[in-house]
Structure 1
Amino acid sequence: MSAATASQAKVLKALQNGAAAVQVMLERERTSGLERSVRQLRQFQDRGLAHAELATAAHAGGVPAEWIAQAHERGTRGIRWRAGMFLRTAAPVDREQLLTALDTDVARLASWTVLHAARGGSGGEVGTTTTVARNLRALWTRTCVVAALLDVTAGESQTRWAKSVEAAADAITRQGLFGEQITEQWRAIVHVDMTRYRIQATALGEAGIDTDPSIGPPRPDTAIAAMRAEGVGPIDHISHHDVPTSGAQIAEAVEVAMRQTGDLDQDPLMQPPTFSDPPIRYPGAEL
């Protein structure tokens, strides 16, 4: 690759200018002769974390690693971004691999959406409902902005993701989950750490990458409203299987429930998302 797209240029500019801004802060600190305050330390840490996560999101969105490194290097030398700056020759980016990584994020989003439609808002668990909804927004927003950086088209989004929620609902139905099992999986979403995805989504947004619903997966709140209008939720409506009545059926259901609940810690849908991260961590601003 030899020329950056408009979206890639926005991200490279944010990376380079962010690194340059840190150098200005460091120089002011050196010349002042004063020790860094707690507030200043937090500012440096926040800037460094945002810078590193922006680089991670840039990788996920198809910006070549050579250009990300070049922007970081220039910024650490105090050079701010200018239009038309030379970019190194970059190796081709495997766009299909990056889209496949996003597919995995979308599958997680769809599964969570179905669980939230079935369980969220019932039983008075306001805190859990709020946190799950927040995690859904974070995952959806990050997916949309990375898709925008990848220049995903509306047609690609329609083909790959339009039926993701229906597919997730079918998968959960085939598992034959009962109400309490669904509740346990829904509660487990609270414990998935979405911090990095929130930071990445915010950093891409501040770099000028817009959240475009037309190229993203189904919006969770819209999908949930549609499912509830069709009678999905409360919890037992998601399973088409008969409720166990005989002793043998109840014993089998209990055994399955215990096994599935015990497997939540190993369930990839309940682990911190890493699907769209680059294979190596970008060092970011070392402060």
Structure 2
Amino acid sequence: MNKPTPAQRKVLKALQNRAVELTAMTNEANQRTAETGERPPWSWAKDYLDHANLREALEKAACAGGVPKTWIDHVRERGERGITWRANLPLRPAEPLDLDRILGDLVADVQRLQEWTALDTAQRMVRPAPEPTVPDFVERNRHALRALRARTNGVANLLELDSELGEQLWGTPADFAAAAAKWATGLSVDRLPNLLHNAAYTGTRDYAQQAVALGAAGIVIDTADAVASAERLAVAIESLLPREERPFNEATDGVEIASAVAAAEHESPAVAIVETWTGSSLFSDNLEPDTWSYDADPDRKVPQPQFSEAEELGR
């Protein structure tokens, strides 16, 4: 890879200019401390960390979207020297991309996105008006779904994937809808709240920050040619479900409930319905909370401001 794509240039520009902003903030704080002896207020520290966290999130999304780390490091170094982005400045030669990892991670996210879309569709058809005990994690699940969708759209657009390649990687909306309808039809009403709860408490805060950072850099996060919209998937799923008020299996009191619970405890953790590019199956019922969030470099920390004096901020 000799030069960045138009989408990569947007992200690299944002990364470099944000590094310039952070450096300027630190320099101004140091100058004020030297002149007045006053430490920056807490509001300054919060503002600095907000900017630093947004840059960190954009770097993670950039790695996920195929921007070479060499280029990410190069523009950060330039920004820390106070050099703003200029398109005519050459970048260092980039390392080969690990497309198996990059596309594999994206396929996994799309699979999770499809599962959660099916789960949300099932919830709306089973309980159009959620009972008082479940609305909290129903709404949390929808927040998580929106964060996952926005970040997935952004990464797909950063990779500049088209609809044809998307279908090769994770199938057509019709393929998914058939699998989702089969899964949802066999779903017990009694199991739905647990699935919603697990999905709702899967950690997506990091993905939400990455989506915000990508959007601020000029990458579209609302839609993606390679990823079917939530509305399109939902309509496709609903069109294949039985036309009944409650098209899902319902456990009843007594022996039937006990039998349903026993069956759930011994069933396979995944229903093999659709095989994807990764060879894995969709619609696993083992949604684990707080177990995934992409981090290209877990050892790197958000940069802390370096002050001209040894005393800590705020002391």
- Same fold by TM-score, threshold 0.5 exceeded? yes
C-alpha deviation, 1:92, in angstroms: 1.2
Within a 5 Å distance, the mapping from 1:189-204 to structure 2 comes to: 189-204=199-214
Match of 2:219 in 1: 209
Deviations 1:133-160 (Å, cap 9, x if unpaired)?
2221111111111011111112112333
Percent sequence identity is 29
- 1:186 and 2:196 aligned: yes
Whether the aligned pair in 2 keeps the contact of 1:20 and 1:79 (CA below 8 Å) is yes
Whether the aligned pair in 1 keeps the contact of 2:138 and 2:196 (CA below 8 Å) is no
Q: Which moved more, 1:21-30 or 1:226-235?
A: 226-235
- Flag structure 2 segments of 5+ consecutive residues without an equivalent: 271-284, 306-315
- The code of the aligned residue for 2:119 comes to L
- 1:129 and 2:148 aligned: no
- The code of the aligned residue for 2:180 comes to A
Within a 5 Å distance, the mapping from 1:94-105 to structure 2 comes to: 94-105=98-109
Match of 2:237 in 1: 227
- Measure, in 1, the Cα distance between the counterparts of 2:61 and 2:302: 12
- Structure index of larger Rg: 2
The Cα RMSD (Å) is 3.1
- 1:254 and 2:261 aligned: yes
Whether the aligned pair in 1 keeps the contact of 2:144 and 2:200 (CA below 8 Å) is yes
- Measure, in 2, the Cα distance between the counterparts of 1:251 and 1:18: 58
- Measure, in 2, the Cα distance between the counterparts of 1:228 and 1:3: 44
C-alpha deviation, 1:227, in angstroms: 3.4
Match of 2:155 in 1: 146
Match of 2:32 in 1: 32
Whether the aligned pair in 2 keeps the contact of 1:118 and 1:232 (CA below 8 Å) is no
Deviations 1:97-141 (Å, cap 9, x if unpaired)?
312211110111111111111114433344333322222111111
Extract structure 1 runs of 4+ deviating beyond 6 A: 232-235
C-alpha deviation, 1:251, in angstroms: 3.5
Q: Which protein, 1 or 2, shows the higher relative CO under an 8 Å CA cutoff with sep ≥ 6?
A: 1
- Measure, in 1, the Cα distance between the counterparts of 2:117 and 2:286: 16
- Measure, in 2, the Cα distance between the counterparts of 1:234 and 1:13: 53
SS at match of 1:213: coil
Deviations 1:206-265 (Å, cap 9, x if unpaired)?
1111236352422224422443455479995245xx868994x654322234568x99xx
- The code of the aligned residue for 1:156 comes to L
SS at match of 1:42: helix
- Flag structure 1 segments of 5+ consecutive residues without an equivalent: none
- Measure, in 2, the Cα distance between the counterparts of 1:259 and 1:152: 40
C-alpha deviation, 1:6, in angstroms: 1.1
- Measure, in 1, the Cα distance between the counterparts of 2:289 and 2:182: 16
- 1:65 and 2:69 aligned: yes
- Measure, in 1, the Cα distance between the counterparts of 2:70 and 2:244: 50
Q: 1:23 to 1:168 in 2, by over 3 A?
A: farther
* Number of positions where the alignment pairs a residue of Structure 1 with one of Structure 2: 279
